[in-house]
Structure formats: structure tokens, C-alpha cells
Structure 1
Amino acid sequence: MNSLIIAVYEVRRLIRSRGVLLNLFLLPLVIIFLLGSALSGMFNTTELSGETVKVVVAAEQTEPALKMLETYVSNPEVAKRIRMEKAASRQEAEERLRSGSADYAVLIPDGFGSAMQRGDEARVMLLPGKDRTLNRSAGLVLGSFVEEINYRQAAAIVMGPEAAAQPAFAPGEASTEGGPRSYVQAGQLGTGVNTYSASQYYAAAMLIMFLFYSGMAINTSLDLEKSGHTLQRLHSLPVTYSSVFTGKLLGNGFVAVIQALVIVGFSHFVYGVDWGSRLPLVLLIAGLVILVSMSLSVVLSLLFPNGATAKALLQVLIIAMTFLSGGFSPVPGEFMRQLSLFTVNHWAFQGLLRNMLAGELNVVMSSIVPLFWIAAACLLLVVIVYRKVGYRE
């Protein structure tokens, strides 16, 4: 009961503070609007890389689908982007991807062409390599080949095996401009690309960053009772140190939850930010970030009695993790991307973005599960540090 009373007063204190309302509620909404509007052009185009992508193909020499792929790659526009090389087996293709001697791989299983002509289930496997830009180029160019296969398989199901032998359009069929039609057209795609907008990108990034700042408020609150010498007076009443500590956590946690709901709701209804169809997952990620942020703030507050020192360390940590995770701009270089894996922001950020893109549930959960274990480890650290150091003057 004492903890709940302290939590209520903590919430009232925070809500009445103009600094809290401006810095935790208004400021993130303003930044999302400014960055989403100013940098919208950076997120609305998809470019093919100018480099030629080395694609290794593993298939039987007599496989009809291999001949289809060879014909497709021989197209002059495709040949500018794709250089096809053959592998004797799937294992060789995967090894070449791992070693970096190939940029992308296409695996055509045995009997694929026969299954496709019969209208049975048949799948081509596309394996990306190490370079994300080359992977995107290969995926965009080979997408037309996959669509051709899908067309022939659908034709076989509807009209019989003979229809599978007919291409979606004749190789020399003229386009509306009068020239021969090509599977690939070099240029930029501004619409219809399954990607996130600048508003979505920065809404997710700012939500995470300012939830960390909200967690940092517990540092100020815990230090305030010590510097004002009110903690000892509270303890002189029938109120334990643990009750004060728990009440502070509950009050600040409640305000952080309200902050997350305001940012998500306001950005969706006013800015039109699409957070995805799985809103509970968005709230779950936000809740885990709140647990981590408050845990880190509590640990530093207990280990460093000087509140200014703990606050400075938290500031550096928040800015560093936001930068490494791509919160200010997409992370350049493979080395920086590897470093981002060691930040809390990375897992929360990727989970939100994947949910926005309507990714499969297991893909979204692959980012949430590490975040869950990080939160559990932080809570355990809080218990250990509190038992060892305690919260008292």
C-alpha cells in the first residue's frame, strides 16, 4: 500500500513538471515530424546497384528451369546486372557464398521442371550473400524470373501441362514504345516498394530513444530524495526503503507506458505512421525497452551515489546505442552493423521495422526474443545490485 501511495505521488509530480511534458512527450513528436518530412525522399526510392552480381546456380544440367534461367540471364539488360556461374551441388554454392566468391545463390531442386509442368508444388530457393546492396540488386532482377515460374506453374494448374511451356509473353513481344520488351528496366521505383517511410523509420527510432530518456527520469527521482534529505524522514515513518524504491519504479514506469501510448497513437492518427497490424507486438517491444531503460538507470544510480555522474553515463549510453543502431541515419558499413548487434536499440528497432513491413511472425519474434532475454538479465542485475548496495542515504 505504501508503494502504491508513493507511486501515485510520483506520477503527479512528473505530470505537473513542464520539463517532463516538453522533453518526454512533446519533443519526440516534433522530431518525428521534422525528420519524417525533411528526409522523406531518402526512404522512398530503391536503386539497383551498379555492380555486377555474381550469382551461383546449383541445378542438374538437364533441368528445364536451368535453361529458362540461362535464357533469362542472356537478356542484355539482365546481363548488365547478373553474371551467372554454375555449381556442382548445393553444398558448393553455399560454400562459395560463405567464402565470398559468390554474391548470391539460386538453388533449383532435382525434378523442379517436371513438378512445375504437372502443377505440383515446386520451389526455387534464393540465398542472399554478405552484401545487402548486392542482395537487393539480385533480388530485384531475379524477381521477374520467379514471377515467370509462378506464371507457368499457375498455368499448368489451370490449363494443363501444355500451358506451362508457354512464357508469360513472347521473348520478342513489342512494348508500348514499339521496341522489344525486356524483363528488366533500369531506373528507380518510387511506389509499390515494400519498405518503410521516413516517418515510420524515425517514429520507431525516437520511440526507443525517448523511452530510454523516460527511464532516466528514475535516476533524477531517486537522487532527489537523497539530495533533499527526505529519504531518511520517510524511513522514520512506517515506510521501508524498499517501499520507497518500489513506489518510485512503479510511478516512473507508469509514466513511461503513457509516453509510449501517446507517441504511437499521436504519430499514427496525426502523422499517418503505420505501425503494422500487430499493435500488441509494438506495445510488447515498448514495454521491454522500458524495463531495460529503467533497470540500467537504477543500476547506475545505485552504483554511483553522485546523481550527475550516473546521469552523464546514461546520456552517453543512450546516444551511443541510438547512433550504432541506426536511429539517426541508416548504419553504414558492415563493421558498424556488427557493432549494432550489441545494443538494445538494435533489437527493438528491427522488431518495430519488421512489424511495420508486415513481416512473418517468426521474423518479428527473432528480434523480440533477444530483447526479452536482455530485459530479464537487466532485471536480475537490478536485484543483485540492490541487495548489495541498497537504496538509502
Structure 2
Amino acid sequence: MRAWWTTVYYECVKYSRMRSLLVILIGLPLLLILLLGSAFNTDIKPAKVAVFNADHGNMRDGITLFWEEAAAGPYIKVLQAKSASEVQDWVREGTVDYGVSIPSDFSLQVETGKAAEWLTYAGRYEEKNIAADAVVNRYLSTVNLQIAAVQILGVMNAGDILKEPSAEDSIVVHNLGMGDSEIFGETSAIQYYSAAYLIMFLLYGGMAAAIALINQRESGTLQRMYTNPSSFRMTTLGVICGSGMLAALQAIVIVVFTSFVYDVNWGGQYEIIALICFLTAAAGIGLGITIASFAQNKKTTQTFFSIIVFSMTFLSGGMMTGIEKMVGGANKLTINHWASTSLRAVMTGTGQTEAWQEIGVLALFALCLLIIAIIRLPKVVKPHA
């Protein structure tokens, strides 16, 4: 047992000093999650609109009610400014995304039949400008239409114009083609890619066990240990468990970092997430040792392992969403599919029965690969096995 603890300790020390490995296995997935999650994110954040209403005429109360209704919606957040210059300053500084200044004679202009106009200030972000423009234009267009009706038909007096338009349903958002709800299911884009790349790089972490065993064999360490069967078995197990510790570190850092920095909702059931990560890491270790038993050297092992993990990630939709519908069920033959779908089920909190079924299939994958790895392990650790 002492040999096991000693080996695990020095394996952890070794990995802590391999900065390039830590960057690849921990830093790279975080970068990919950020880039892809942001690129495919279709959630529209509310535009912050600064409003200054200098009008004290008959339309003031209606304008105030209009902006209160707009602020109650999901696309506009209204901030009241104290002056027109403050609106301009906020837009210029980036404090708000859009500015609106309502002139003091607005009610008078409308009552005398002049076109309804507000002073607007566009901000830095085009999508926020579009959202705010839609709200402003809806109000002004409705008022101008009523003014035109008075002038042409003469059926209303100026007081009738004071019936204010509503901000309700001023913006309607639809997905064209395959939107977020179809591509990523019930998860957001960043949740989808967080699950996909956590699984992918946990599998890559499993390769570390096979590479470590090959290095130990080539350096002669395992051959010297072979004279003491008890120490040999414990040392081999310690090398494998050291890789498992690396996988645990990966999972903890990625889940915690994405939760607090990227605001990814993992569903709160961290014990189930830990189980999924454990089974994935075990499957990765089993796969790595199995490949190493046939490849016999480090370079070939790395090449074949990378090709297999990359292919499984691609087939399961980790690189191109929706590809699993085009591969004729081949995605179900991959570890990534069962691990990622079970993680997404935990994230959304739906289909718990299906999630446990998927975890069961993942456990079966891990068990089979570990059994094969145990059978083939002598080919990896013994020079002439």
C-alpha cells in the first residue's frame, strides 16, 4: 500500500510540473467553451436605454406609462436620466446602450399636427440599437399615424390623439431555420459545449495513464519493480490512479470555473456529475491502455488515441451540432454521446430516468474497456510480454 501512495504522490507532483499538459487539458477546453458558447449564443440581453422626458404637456403621463411597459419586457431596461446631456454622457461612456431625449414641446407639436419626433442616441452595439429603435419607432409611428388620420379624415380632435400606443409586443423574436431550441435542445449553447468539451478532454486525460506506463517501461522502472510482485502491482496501479487524479482536477476546475466565470448552470446535482466524470475518466484510461497494448510505443499511442477521441467527439455532435442525425446512429457507439447526453439531462433537470439509463450505458462502456485494459496490461508494462 505504501508503494501505491508513494507512486500516486509522485505522479501528482510530476503532472503539476508539466505546465504545457495542464494548459492543454484544462486551459484549452475552457477557451473552446468560451469561443463556441459565445459564437452560437442566441440569447438576447436587454438593451439599457437612458430616457429623459422634458415634456410636461398632456402626453407626459402616457409616455411614462409607455416606457414602464417597455421596461417590463425582456428586451429593454429603462434608466431615467436627469437631463438630455446626461443621456448623451451615458451613451458616450457606454453606461447605457441607447439614449432617448423627449423634447419639452413634444405634446404641443403633436396637438398642432406636427410630426412626432424624439432625439435618439445610438450606442456601440448594433443589436441593442435595433431593439431600442423598434420600441421607439413603434410609439412614434403609431402617434404619427393618428395625426395623419386626424388631418385626412377629421374624425378625431386633438384630445383623441392622447390615447397612447402600447409597448407590448413591440419586438418579436423568431429563430430562422435551426435556432437554439432545435440545435442545442433544452440547453444553451455554452451549456452544450461545456458538457461536450469536458467529456472530450477527460478522455484525453485518460491517455496520460498509458503514456506514463510506457515511459516507466522504457526507463526500466517497471522492470526493476517486477522483481517484487507486490510493489510492481501497486506501482502500476499508482501510475493509473495518478492519471485519475489529473482527471479529477480537470473536472473540478472546468465545472467550477465555468459556473462562476461563464455562468454555466450545471443543474446543481454535482454528485451525479462527479459520477459521470469518473466513468468517463475510467473509460478514457481503459481506452488508452488498450490502444497502448497494441501500439507498443508512445508516438503511435498518442496518434491513434487522438484520432479515436476526435472522431468520437465529432460523431457525437461535440464539434458540429446536429451531425448525429446524419451519421445513422454511429454516435451511439461513442463514449462521448452517452456521457454528454447524460450531463445535459442533469443540467436541464428533465428526463432523470433517461439520464440514469445513459449513465448505465456509459458505465457499461467503462467496465468493458477496463476489463480489456486489465487483460492487455502486461503488453504495456512488460518489455517482452
Q: TM over 0.5, yes or no? A: yes
Label 1:21 to 1:312 Cα distance change in 2 as closer, same or farther (>3 A).
Answer: same
Amino acid in the other structure paired with 2:339: A
Residue 271 of structure 1, aligned match among 250, 257, 262: 262
Could you tell me which residue of structure 2 aligns to residue 385 of structure 1? 376
In the TM superposition, residue 188 of structure 1 has moved relative to its aligned partner by 3.9
User: Are 1:325 and 2:316 an aligned pair?
Assistant: yes
Paired residues of 2:315 and 2:327 also in contact (CA < 8 A): yes
Deviations 1:136-156 (CA, angstroms, capped at 9, x unpaired): xxxxxxxxxxxxxxxxxxxxx
Label 1:342 to 1:218 Cα distance change in 2 as closer, same or farther (>3 A).
Answer: same
Could you tell me which residue of structure 2 aligns to residue 108 of structure 1? none
The 5-angstrom pairing of residues 35-50 of structure 1 reads: 35-41=36-42
Percent identical residues: 32
Label 1:191 to 1:239 Cα distance change in 2 as closer, same or farther (>3 A).
Answer: closer
In the TM superposition, residue 307 of structure 1 has moved relative to its aligned partner by 1.8
Could you tell me which residue of structure 1 aligns to residue 152 of structure 2? none
Aligned length: 255
Q: What CA RMSD, in Å, does the superposition of the two structures yield over aligned residues?
A: 2.9
Could you tell me which residue of structure 2 aligns to residue 19 of structure 1? 20
Residue 219 of structure 1, aligned match among 210, 230, 243: 210
Uncovered stretches (5+) of structure 2, i.e. residues with no partner: 45-164, 167-171
Residue 244 of structure 2, aligned match among 229, 243, 253: 253
Could you tell me which residue of structure 2 aligns to residue 208 of structure 1? 199
User: Which SS does the other structure have where 2:320 is aligned?
Assistant: coil
Deviations 1:212-233 (CA, angstroms, capped at 9, x unpaired): 1111111221111122233333
Deviations 1:249-268 (CA, angstroms, capped at 9, x unpaired): 11110111111011011100
Take 2:240 and 2:214, find their aligned partners in 1: how far apart are those partners?
13
Deviations 1:244-285 (CA, angstroms, capped at 9, x unpaired): 211101111011111101101110011100011322111111
Deviations 1:320-362 (CA, angstroms, capped at 9, x unpaired): 0000000012133634151101111000111111111111321
User: Which SS does the other structure have where 2:250 is aligned?
Assistant: helix
Deviations 1:52-97 (CA, angstroms, capped at 9, x unpaired): xxxxxxxxxxxxxxxxxxxxxxxxxxxxxxxxxxxxxxxxxxxxxx
Could you tell me which residue of structure 1 aligns to residue 303 of structure 2? 312
Could you tell me which residue of structure 2 aligns to residue 94 of structure 1? none
Take 1:335 and 1:262, find their aligned partners in 2: how far apart are those partners?
33
Uncovered stretches (5+) of structure 1, i.e. residues with no partner: 45-175, 178-184
Deviations 1:177-225 (CA, angstroms, capped at 9, x unpaired): 9xxxxxxx99449999982111101100110010011111112211111
Label 1:229 to 1:298 Cα distance change in 2 as closer, same or farther (>3 A).
Answer: same
TM-score by length of 2: 0.61
Paired residues of 2:216 and 2:222 also in contact (CA < 8 A): yes
Take 2:298 and 2:248, find their aligned partners in 1: how far apart are those partners?
24
Take 2:191 and 2:173, find their aligned partners in 1: how far apart are those partners?
27
User: Are 1:241 and 2:235 an aligned pair?
Assistant: no
Label 1:233 to 1:336 Cα distance change in 2 as closer, same or farther (>3 A).
Answer: same
Take 2:242 and 2:13, find their aligned partners in 1: how far apart are those partners?
9
User: Which SS does the other structure have where 1:336 is aligned?
Assistant: coil
In the TM superposition, residue 243 of structure 1 has moved relative to its aligned partner by 2.1
Residue 327 of structure 2, aligned match among 319, 323, 336: 336
Structure showing greater Rg: 2
Take 1:31 and 1:186, find their aligned partners in 2: how far apart are those partners?
28
Paired residues of 2:316 and 2:324 also in contact (CA < 8 A): no
Take 1:391 and 1:238, find their aligned partners in 2: how far apart are those partners?
13
Paired residues of 2:7 and 2:235 also in contact (CA < 8 A): yes
The 5-angstrom pairing of residues 55-74 of structure 1 reads: none
TM-score by length of 1: 0.60
Label 1:30 to 1:40 Cα distance change in 2 as closer, same or farther (>3 A).
Answer: same
Range moving further from structure 2, 254-263 or 296-305: 296-305
Take 1:206 and 1:300, find their aligned partners in 2: how far apart are those partners?
22
Could you tell me which residue of structure 1 aligns to residue 355 of structure 2? 364
In the TM superposition, residue 365 of structure 1 has moved relative to its aligned partner by 1.0
In the TM superposition, residue 375 of structure 1 has moved relative to its aligned partner by 1.2
In the TM superposition, residue 367 of structure 1 has moved relative to its aligned partner by 1.2
In the TM superposition, residue 17 of structure 1 has moved relative to its aligned partner by 0.8
Label 1:245 to 1:186 Cα distance change in 2 as closer, same or farther (>3 A).
Answer: closer
Range moving further from structure 2, 30-39 or 267-276: 30-39
Amino acid in the other structure paired with 1:5: T
Could you tell me which residue of structure 2 aligns to residue 231 of structure 1? 222
Label 1:280 to 1:26 Cα distance change in 2 as closer, same or farther (>3 A).
Answer: same
Take 2:321 and 2:338, find their aligned partners in 1: how far apart are those partners?
14
Label 1:38 to 1:300 Cα distance change in 2 as closer, same or farther (>3 A).
Answer: same
Paired residues of 1:324 and 1:331 also in contact (CA < 8 A): no
Amino acid in the other structure paired with 2:215: L
